[in-house]
Homo-oligomer: A and B are copies of this chain.
């Protein structure tokens, strides 16, 4: 089944657009996983500690959200051992009934892009498929021709893509708002045009877009240019965006979990580090933070004002 349709059905079950980022910053992991940052521990043990943390986080969120988004960098930092942990983790998330968006932000010329599409979305012939992602994030700087091999792979294997349009970091406007119209609007138009071939029965396309939840003013404008794209909105919580900031992303006020995903990474996984959670177990703190996020989104997205 088309990725956008699978995602839409999964969101309908959980009735929240909350998405949990799995970003195991070594320095931020709770004490039981301190082996991850132990310079004297063998790398394979450090990767195992990262994996153990990520699995517990997944156990915590499974059934409550539809999707998790592991961040590749925090696995790659442990080299081949980290990538092996990534593969096991993706398979584990699938076994827990979750969809997986691999946050890899890859980009390259077409012949190389095809290899990345195989690596993350299609798999080599004969390869184990459980460790493949349902979707990945992509960087558009090389232009549409660099995205086409990924679109082809999505068509063949019912996978999805989220192209960076307007990112959540403070300096993102430097490049993404360059020119007139601003570059990000041009990229949004490309996403809308290229995504037409991947529109499913749900009316959404498997070619989605990343728009920072911190870009409140631009969100409505970008949503209007990409009416069928599923928007992935990072920046909630730790980066400062609130539930009200993301309202413009949702096309259907009566079903405010369709058409967009609101990501929180550090705000959930590392809630235990916040002052208000001092002395609280990391899992209790994460669970409460997720409840809070789901509640805030539900309230803000259905409010009539």
Nearest CB in chain B to that of A169: its residue: B109
Within the complex, the shortest CB–CB distance from A55 to chain B, in Å, comes to: 17
Nearest CB in chain B to that of A118: its residue: B77
Report, nearest first, the 4 A-B pairs whose CB atoms are least far apart. A179-B179, A39-B126, A145-B171, A80-B84
Alpha-carbon distance A124/B78, docked complex (angstroms) = 8
The copy count of this chain in the complex is: 2
- Which residues of A come within 8 Å of B, CB atoms? 23, 25-26, 38-41, 43, 46, 71, 73-74, 76-81, 83-84, 86-87, 105-113, 115-116, 118-119, 124-128, 131, 139-146, 164, 167-176, 178-180, 183, 186-187, 190
Nearest CB in chain B to that of A190: its residue: B174
Alpha-carbon distance A87/B141, docked complex (angstroms) = 27
Q: Find chain B residues with CB under 8 A from A25 CB.
A: 111, 115
Q: Indicate if the CB atoms of B141 and A175 lie closer than 8 Å.
A: yes
Q: Indicate if the CB atoms of B141 and A73 lie closer than 8 Å.
A: no
Nearest CB in chain B to that of A84: its residue: B80
Q: Indicate if the CB atoms of A142 and B171 lie closer than 8 Å.
A: yes
When the two chains form the complex, which single residue of B41, B83, B127, B145 contacts A169, counting CB atoms closer than 8 Å? B145
Q: Find chain B residues with CB under 8 A from A144 CB.
A: 171, 174
Q: Find chain B residues with CB under 8 A from A125 CB.
A: 39
When the two chains form the complex, which single residue of B38, B108, B167, B183 contacts A105, counting CB atoms closer than 8 Å? B108
Q: Find chain B residues with CB under 8 A from A176 CB.
A: 141, 143
Within the complex, the shortest CB–CB distance from A132 to chain B, in Å, comes to: 10
Alpha-carbon distance A130/B25, docked complex (angstroms) = 23
In this complex, the member of A40, A81, A169 whose beta carbon has the largest number of chain B beta carbons within 10 angstroms is A169
Q: Given A79-B83, A106-B105, A124-B78, check contact A116 B169 (CB 8 Å).
A: no
Q: Find chain B residues with CB under 8 A from A108 CB.
A: 71, 73, 105
| Beyond A73-B112, A144-B171, 20 additional pairs, beta carbon < 8 A | A39-B126, A40-B126, A71-B108, A71-B112, A74-B115, A76-B116, A77-B116, A77-B118, A77-B124, A80-B86, A105-B139, A139-B141, A141-B141, A142-B169, A142-B175, A143-B173, A143-B174, A146-B169, A178-B183, A183-B183
Nearest CB in chain B to that of A39: its residue: B126
Nearest CB in chain B to that of A187: its residue: B175
Q: Find chain B residues with CB under 8 A from A190 CB.
A: 174
Nearest CB in chain B to that of A131: its residue: B79
23 CB-based A-B contacts, threshold 8 Å: A25-B115, A39-B124, A71-B112, A73-B116, A73-B119, A74-B112, A74-B115, A76-B83, A80-B84, A80-B87, A105-B139, A110-B169, A140-B175, A141-B141, A141-B175, A143-B167, A143-B169, A143-B173, A143-B175, A144-B171, A144-B174, A145-B170, A178-B179
